[in-house]
Structures are given as structure tokens and as C-alpha cells.
Amino acid sequence: MTINQEHSAQEIFETLETLETSTEHAALQSVRWTGEQLLLLDQRLLPEEILYLDLKTPEDVWEAIRQLKVRGAPAIGIAAAYGIYLGVRHLTVDGRSEEDANQNLYQTVLEHAQYLATSRPTAVNLFWALDRMTNKTQVLLKAGLNLNQIKQAISEEAILIQAEDEETNRLIGEHALTLFEDGFGVLTHCNAGGLATSKYGTALAPFYLAKEKGMAIQVFADETRPVLQGARLTAFELQQAGIDVTLICDNMAGAVMAKGWIQAVIVGTDRVAANGDVANKIGTYSAAVLAKAHGIPFYVACPLSTLDLNTPTGADIPIEERHEDEITQGFGKRTAPKGVKVYNPAFDITPNEYVTAIITEKGIIRAPYTENLSRLLEQD
Ligand code: MRU
């Protein structure tokens, strides 16, 4: 993988200032398609360093997803969609008939989709985006287009996935904001913000919109061990946007709730099962149990693409386990004895009875989830 784009934080924020109006939310984009290059913000380096990587191949994208350079369910899906295009962009007819060249392209798309699907197992948006790209390719093939036209349309589909995500998140934010009042303290876990999506985020979208509307919300961000998405990413992006954010360690959430500082919890999700069980960053379940114990509503924000009606319950969602070093050496030095046994699941399941509501771009869904989620997707 080559790295040829490096901007200082100052350069990035100056550029963003010229792109955005002063009232609108300005943010770093985790995935940027320039029309020529796929630039990806290396989220492992935040908040200390802002570095854009120039990804050239599906292998680069696979590596970036696996290593959490890009992370967060929607952003993973967006990166993978561009990965499909990177895999076909240099294909030529190369002496084949037009039909054989198109078939070769389709096979290449399928192979890259299968390969990219092995990068991480839990976020269903990855598989959703890859299915959308392969289905689109099939439609394009049937439409009788030539190779270059199909390649162009594949790149446009990836751009569309990214653009739609931004609009979706704004709608999620609008719906979520109806659940909050001026002066609320709201706890969030992990990072379900602009960095995890194309813009705004899911769980963080209402905070950006509240800011635009002049509504005061005090956000509490769990630091989110072991990889610290809350500390490194949520606290960073909210602070950059001028939103009132207070960082706490994960084990402080109960104490903060007991003080009466939290009126709602809102998180994103990597996959919602058909019965409304929710997979999200490890520690989400603990936050949900604490919220219930304190009579605080627990909200989950996600696009429809995160709803997986093919997975009956949370027990059927594959949970990624990551390397022990994230726990034993996560702070850049060893913090546990060598050889100690480690269990490091990246996600947990919050059973549906802890979920007060699920907020999507189509509105707010409450229990019974099995009926209401399937009705919601039927409407779509
Ligand atoms: O391991 P990560 O950082 O990819 O986990 C991310 C999360 O758990 C997010 O909360 C989830 O993907 C929702 S992002 C809008």
C-alpha cells in the first residue's frame, strides 16, 4: 500500500472550512473518493495524527478494514463498495469479445466481493454493500452496456452508497432529536459518528443537529476499551465540532447515571437481528443493563442497511474476536503479564428487552420488534 497523501491537521481543517458553511457541521471524512483516488483516513492514528492513505486495490481495502484503519459499520460498507470498483477499474477487453469481457468483469466483481467479505464478520453493512455492488453489476450486464460503461456505473454505485448514507444519517439525526430535550445529558458508547459513516454518524447525528439548532445537549462518551473508539474518535470528532463532550472510562457509566447526569443513552449498531437484538461494540450490553437499572431510555440508531432479518436472534450474529495485544499492549506498552489468557470479543449482544427504541431513517421503531422491523422493511 502506498501512502502519498499526508496533510497536517491545519491543512485539513482549512480545506474543510472552505467547503462548509459556518453553521453546517464540518468534519473529517473517513472515506474520500476524488474521482481518481480512494483516500482513507487512518483512524488508528487519531486523534494524534491525520493521515490519508491512498488505497489502490481490493487488497488494500481488505487490509484497511481488518486493521481498523476504517471502522464503523457504514464506513466499512462504503470502503468495500469502492474496493469493488478498484478491482475492476483497470480491466480491458484485452482481445476478448465484448460479451466475454463483461463476463470476466462480473466474475472479478464476484471474486472480490467474496474476498472483501472475509475482512470482518459482524457488521452486516459490509455484506449489504457487497451484495448491492454485485447485484448492480448483474443489472448493468443485462442492460447491454459495454465494459467501460459498466465500470463507470460501478464507480457511480459506490459514490451513491456514500451519498445516500449522508442523507440517511441526517434523517436518523432528525428522528433521534425528537427524543431529546434541551439540557439532556446523553451517554454514548464506541464511535457511531461521522468517522464511522459518510457524515454525521448514526448515534452522534442528533448531537450535530442539536448544535445546528442551538439546543444544549451534554454528551458523555465512554472511552470504549480496548481500542478506545470513544476516547480517540467520539471525543475527538465532537470536540472538533464544538459539541459539549465529557470523556469517562467505561466503568464510570453507572456512577454518572446514579448522579442523575444521564437522561438517555444512544449507540450505533453493527447488526440488528430480526427480533431486535442488537450487536454493537463490546460494552454496549453493560451500558444497556445500567440504563435499565436507572430507568434511563436506551436508544439504538442505525440505517435500514443494518437491519438483518435473515438473522433470527442475537445468538446467530457472528461476533468477531480480536488479537489479545489489544488488551495486553493496547497503550503502547505491556499492561498484563506475558502468557496470560485473554478473551477479546469486539462486540456484544444487547437483548431486545433492553432496547427502548431503534431509530432509522424511516422513523422510530419500538417493541414488538419482530413484527415492527419486518413491517418497516416491507414498506421500504
Ligand atoms: O470495531 P468497530 O470500531 O468497527 O466497531 C464500531 C461499532 O461498534 C459502532 O458502534 C457501529 O459500527 C455503528 S457505526 C455507525
Q: What are the residue numbers of the active site? A: 270
CA 107 / ligand 1 centre spacing (Å) = 31
Ligand 1 atom closest to residue 120's alpha carbon, by position in its atom list:
4
Residue carrying C-alpha cell 483497470:
90
For residue 252, the tally of other CB atoms under 10 A from its CB is: 13
Each residue's pLDDT tens digit, 132-187: 999 999 999 999 899 999 999 999 999 999 999 999 999 999 999 999 999 999 99
- Helix ranges restricted to H, the chain: 9-19, 58-66, 73-88, 98-116, 124-142, 147-177, 205-213, 229, 235-240, 253-258, 284-293, 325-328, 369-379
Residues with Cβ within 8 Å of 290's Cβ and at least 6 positions away in sequence, in order, are 253, 254, 257, 296
Top mutation candidate among 172, 189, 280 for ligand 1, by most atoms within 8 Å of CB: 280
Q: What is the DSSP secondary structure assignment for residue 47, as one 8-state letter?
A: T
229 is in an annotated binding site: yes
Each residue's pLDDT tens digit, 304-342: 999 999 999 999 999 999 999 999 999 989 999 999 999
Q: What span, in angstroms and rounded, lies between the C-alpha atoms of 261 and 105?
A: 56
Whole-model pTM: value is 0.93
Is the peptide bond prior to 58 cis by the omega test (within 30 degrees of 0)? no
Q: Report the mean per-residue pLDDT for the chain.
A: 94
Each residue's pLDDT tens digit, 267-287: 999 999 999 999 999 999 999
372 is in an annotated binding site: no
> What's the pLDDT score for residue 6?
46
CA 204 to chain CA centroid, nearest Å: 11
CA 361 / ligand 1 centre spacing (Å) = 18
Each residue's pLDDT tens digit, 20-53: 433 445 578 999 999 999 999 999 999 999 999 9
Q: What span, in angstroms and rounded, lies between the C-alpha atoms of 4 and 351?
A: 45
Amino acid, res. 9 = A
96 is in an annotated binding site: no
φ/ψ of residue 246, rounded to 5: -120, 125
CB-based pocket (< 6 A), ligand 1: 71-74, 123, 190, 192, 196-197, 201-202, 229, 268-270, 280-281, 346
Top mutation candidate among 120, 190, 284 for ligand 1, by most atoms within 8 Å of CB: 190
Q: Which of 5-9, 61-65, 168-172, 353-357 has the lowest mean pLDDT?
A: 5-9
CA 190 / ligand 1 centre spacing (Å) = 7
CA 191 / ligand 1 centre spacing (Å) = 6
- Contact between residue 282 and residue 230 where contact means Cβ atoms under 8 Å apart: no
Task: Average the pLDDT over 226-238 and give the result.
Answer: 98
> What's the pLDDT score for residue 13?
45
Q: Which of 5-14, 206-215, 275-284, 366-375 has the lowest mean pLDDT?
A: 5-14
> What's the pLDDT score for residue 19?
42
Top mutation candidate among 125, 168, 234, 270 for ligand 1, by most atoms within 8 Å of CB: 270
Give the whole-number percent of the chain exceeding pLDDT 90.
92
Helices 98-116 and 124-142 cross at an angle (nearest 10°) of: 170
DSSP 184-214: -EEEE-S--SGGGSSSS-STTHHHHHHHHHT
Each residue's pLDDT tens digit, 109-138: 999 999 999 999 999 999 999 999 999 999
Task: Average the pLDDT over 232-248 and give the result.
Answer: 98
* Residue nearest atom 6 of ligand 1, based on CA coordinates: 72
